[in-house]
Amino acid sequence: MTEKQPRIPGSPGSATPPVAEPTTPAGPLPPSPDQSGPATVSPTGQETGTPQDKMAQGGKFLTTAHGARLKDSDHSLRAGPRGPALLQDHHFREKISHFDHERIPERVVHARGAGAHGTFRGYGTASKLSQAGVFAKDKETEVFVRFSTVVGSRGSTDLARDTRGFATKFYTDEGTWDLVANNIPVFFIQDALKFPDVVHAVKPHPDREIPQAQSAHDTFWDFVSLHTEAQHHTIWFMADRGIPRSFRMMEGFGIHTFRLVAQDGSTVLVKFHWKPKLGVHSVTWEEAQIISGADPDFHRRDLADAIEAGAFPEWELGVQVFEDTEDQMFAGIDLLDPTKIVPEELVPVEPIGLMTLHHNPSNYFAETEQVAFNPNNLIPGIDVTNDPLLQGRLFSYLDTQITRLGGPNWNQLPINRPHAAVNDMLRDGMHQTAVHAGVAPYRPNSLDGGNPFETPDGDRPFIDHPAPVSASVKERALPASFDDHFSQARLFFQSLSEVEKEHTAQAYTFELGKCYEQAIRERQLKALAAIDPTLAQVVADGLGLPVPKPAESPADVVPSPALSQVGREWPLDGRQVGIVVGPEVDAGELSGAVTAVHQAGLVPLVVAPSGGEAATRLLGKDLVAQRTYLTARSIEFDAVLVASATPPAPDAANGLDSKVGATTPEGIDPRVSLLLDEVWRQAKAIGAYGAGEDVLRTAGYLEGAGVVTGAGGEEAVQQLLRLMPAHRVWERFPTTGRFAT
């Protein structure tokens, strides 16, 4: 009897190559020459225009979903021009029915986000700690990152006071690794079982579904004041970290302690940190509020524009490394408690690789919306610890995608598909796109030649590290080391500069001022008293309430300077400089200023009285007005240079309804005057040259802190560039003196 040949392609003895799994879907049809899009220029001045190979419609003629050519897509099939519609109209039903199902459920948290593709390059410095190939020296791995707010719905503002998500998918050769991080290094809760509680508390009230994308309401403060382990996380986003200037200027934190496993099986515990090359920066609360009305897509736009303009954002990935001891403690800090940090001054962050984001998604839905992160996605060399929050996350993410992405095959979506070979035995289910061959998706089998085989040790399988589990009783309890809820919140507050403390106190006063229930405000003031008595005092004064006495004196803490955003200088890539011009502008000088801004890697945006031909007459053919007095707003500029400005025009009131509040010194267009007032309050660098100096003098700002002048446009820009690396003119912020050290 002849031996039966294995029938699976790619199996031992088979002549046919293996079938790639899941099956790669067919690409779009080749474009036809008559479908080129119009040439366009992006807001950053880059040429855009959709290249032929990226156009949605690949073929010459419109077709149905099954490929039949269509003659008319504007009129439904009806019984005569005045008659009723016919059920027979397949094109109508297909088009409308598909449209009816275009939305998928938004994420229950982190619904609003922006994504980008990039590359991670290992430095090799972690190779001694972890066998993961992604960390090897100069190894390049493709990544997709999604930044997000947590609370708001998909259409909410980017500038809500909130935590930001920072989730990275590393498409490594050894499987996909997801580092699902936030821009704040601690979390509200210590046990995942409470996640629905904190989320229900911060989401809009269930009766009226308001407020949207805000924590400034009773249910949130009710929860965090009762549930004091949330106080540390809360103070981080009451501080300026809750209103970032840009996704490009945020840190990212893996929060939990993870375990790295080396080639020889040895282990260390680590905390992951993303450090942005551009530094950590925030907007002011006034800016956040203006942005939420004037440009709610501020962060999305900033990320996409920067990448399009070639100012590719970069982050170093770093680790704090701890010995993998039995108690998993470091200097009295429980490494399994996700409400605690280990100050960088105690354990420095060691850089292990660089991530560069270098291209924008082509399709928001297919990529940014459908991307599905999962802390379970681990690769050999990276493992989890028993952090009770992390343990619960290992269930939740896999589960949520089944509802959100409509079934168990979400890993087959192009953005989620691993770049490593997949050879699983998962079959069928909703939205199955793979055409699996073979007859034996089970183990052991003989019909498919025994395929797929288990991986022997030498071939780098993922091994759950055999960490010892202490003999214990089954119970619902946390260790006593998780009990301290205030000392690290105090450590954070004590590490801030005076201005940052003022901002934090103002944020608490605003948020609690929005609560209706007096008892909730009072309870939260007690928590503040346990964090810092002066903070409690200032907030209580702001609310007009008595200052509570702390139950016990706040612990002594050693501040961690790394937690403050003030006091250093940072690169300016992709920052925007508004250049205000009026009728007396000298085109040559202006051109010098624009070029100087460009050459420094920043984006100049010329603000002219109006656009169109009037702007061309003013600026000449070589320069364009990117903004007008009407469309410009302080929030989009990191600094403003005044070349000149028109006196009030007859239409100056046009647009002021949305810019109410302008104090208008005589001789300055009120819209320019408002711009200067806002930029001044936001403590941004201001510069002027030529007639622009008169404008600043008239507005009363010429002698102010952080206001510079130059003999010409280029020189004035150079002066501005000296101020901008500090991010703000910090001394310009008013302080009460109550947090002075």
Nearest approach in angstroms of CB 179 to ligand HDD is 9
Catalytic residue among 66, 75, 98, 110: 110
Spell out, one character per residue from 219 to 258, where the chain touches ligand HDD: x when CB under 6 A holds, - when not: ------------------------------------xx--
Percent helix, percent strand, percent coil in the chain, to nearest 5: 30, 15, 55
Q: Shortest Cβ distance from residue 678 to ligand HDD (Å)? A: 32
Binding status of residue 376 toward ligand HDD by CB under 6 A: no
Q: Nearest distance from residue 104's CB to ligand HDD, in Å?
A: 12
Q: Does residue 118 interact with ligand HDD by CB under 6 A?
A: no
For the bound state, the minimum distance from the C-beta of residue 324 to ligand HDD, rounded and expressed in Å, comes to 20
Structure tokens at 618: 């003013």
Q: Which residues does 31 contact at the CB level (< 8 Å), separation at least 6?
A: 52, 53, 55, 57, 58, 59
Would residue 182 show up in a list of annotated catalytic residues for this protein?
A: yes
List the catalytic residue out of 91, 98, 117, 182. Answer: 182
Least CB distance to ligand HDD at residue 410 (A): 10
- Cβ neighbourhood burial of 612 (10 Å; 0-12, 13-18, 19+): exposed
Among 397, 462, 510, 730, binds ligand HDD (CB under 6 A): 397
Interaction between residue 273 and ligand HDD (CB under 6 A): no
Binds ligand HDD (CB under 6 A): choice among 32, 153, 356, 400: 400
Name the residue with the smallest CB distance to ligand HDD. Answer: 165
* Number of neighbouring beta carbons within 10 Å of residue 726: 17
Contact status, residue 241 vs residue 186, Cβ threshold 8 Å? no
Contact status, residue 418 vs residue 174, Cβ threshold 8 Å: no
- Which residue is it, tokens 């960490």? 467
Residue from the set 6, 21, 44, 110 that interacts with ligand HDD by CB under 6 A: 110
Q: Which is nearer to ligand HDD, 181 or 349 (CB)?
A: 181
Q: What DSSP designation does 455 have?
A: P
Instruction: For ligand HDD, give the closer residue by CB, 302 or 715.
Output: 302
Task: Map residue 703 onto helix, strand or coil.
Answer: coil
**Residue 733 makes contact with ligand HDD by CB under 6 A:** no
Near ligand HDD by CB under 6 A: residue from 296, 338, 452, 690: 338
Stretch touching ligand HDD by CB under 6 A, among 23-31, 65-73, 358-366, 390-398: 390-398
**Does residue 392 belong to the site contacting ligand HDD (CB under 6 A)?**
yes
Q: What is the contact mask toward ligand HDD in residues 507 to 546, using x (rule: CB under 6 A)?
A: ----------------------------------------
- Tell me which residues in 668-727 interact with ligand HDD (CB under 6 A): none
Q: Rule CB under 6 A: is residue 413 a binding residue for ligand HDD?
A: no
From 18, 50, 76, 108, residue interacting with ligand HDD (rule: CB under 6 A)? 108
Instruction: Reply yes or no: is the peptide bond before residue 452 cis, omega within 30 of 0.
Output: yes
Q: How far is the CB of 88 from ligand HDD (least distance, A)?
A: 42
For residue 357, the minimal CB distance to ligand HDD (Å) is: 14
The 3-state DSSP class for residue 108 equals: coil
Stretch that binds ligand HDD, among 176-184, 302-310, 565-573, 684-692 (CB under 6 A): 176-184
From the list 144, 63, 3, 18, the residue with the least C-alpha distance to 451 is 18
Alpha helices in 155-284 (DSSP H): 195-202, 218-226, 231-238
CA atoms within 13 A on the CB side of 336: 20
Residue 597 in contact with residue 716, Cβ under 8 Å?
Answer: no
Q: How many CB atoms lie within 10 A of CB 47?
A: 9
Question: Is 416 known to be catalytic?
Answer: no
Query: Closest approach of Cβ 182 to ligand HDD, in Å?
Result: 4
Asked if 447 touches ligand HDD (CB under 6 A), the answer is no
DSSP class per residue in 129-192: T---GGGSTT-EEEEEEEEEESSS-TTS-TT-SS-EEEEEEEEETTEEEEEEEESSSS-S-SSG
Contact status, residue 211 vs residue 218, Cβ threshold 8 Å? no
Determine, following the binding rule CB under 6 A, whether residue 22 of this chain makes contact with ligand HDD: no
Give yes or no for residue 107 binding ligand HDD (CB under 6 A).
yes
Q: Spell out the residues 6+ positions from residue 615 whose beta carbon is closer than 8 angstroms to its own.
A: 608, 609, 624, 625, 628
The residue (of 372 and 606) whose beta carbon lies closer to ligand HDD is 372
Instruction: Indicate the residue among 120 and 680 with the shorter CB distance to ligand HDD.
Output: 120
Contacting residue, 129, 167, 535, 563, with ligand HDD by CB under 6 A: 167
Q: How far is CA 173 from the centre of its chain?
A: 26
Omega cis (within 30) before 550: no
CB of 240 to ligand HDD, least distance (A): 19
170 touches ligand HDD by CB under 6 A? no
396 binds ligand HDD (CB under 6 A): yes
Q: What Rg do the C-alpha atoms of the chain give, in angstroms? A: 29
Neighbours of 378 (CB within 10 A): 22
Neighbours of 12 (CB within 10 A): 10
Choose between 393 and 728: whose C-beta lies nearer to ligand HDD.
393
Q: Find the angle CA(208)-CA(214)-CA(216) to the nearest 5 degrees.
A: 90
Of 250 and 372, nearer to ligand HDD (C-beta) is 372
Q: Of 169, 163, 183, 318, which Cα lies nearest the Cα of 249?
A: 183
Say whether residue 148 binds ligand HDD (CB under 6 A): yes
| Beta-strand relationship, 685-689 and 639-642 | parallel
Output phi, psi for 62, to 5 deg. Answer: -65, 135
Closer by beta carbon to ligand HDD, 107 or else 245: 107
User: Of the candidates 10, 22, 165, 692, which one interacts with ligand HDD according to CB under 6 A?
Assistant: 165
Q: Which of 141, 157, 172, 182 binds ligand HDD (CB under 6 A)?
A: 182
Tell me which residues are annotated as active site: 110, 182
The residue ranges that bind ligand HDD (CB under 6 A) are: 107-110, 113, 146, 148, 165, 167, 180-182, 187, 192, 195, 255-256, 338, 371-373, 389, 392-393, 396-397, 400
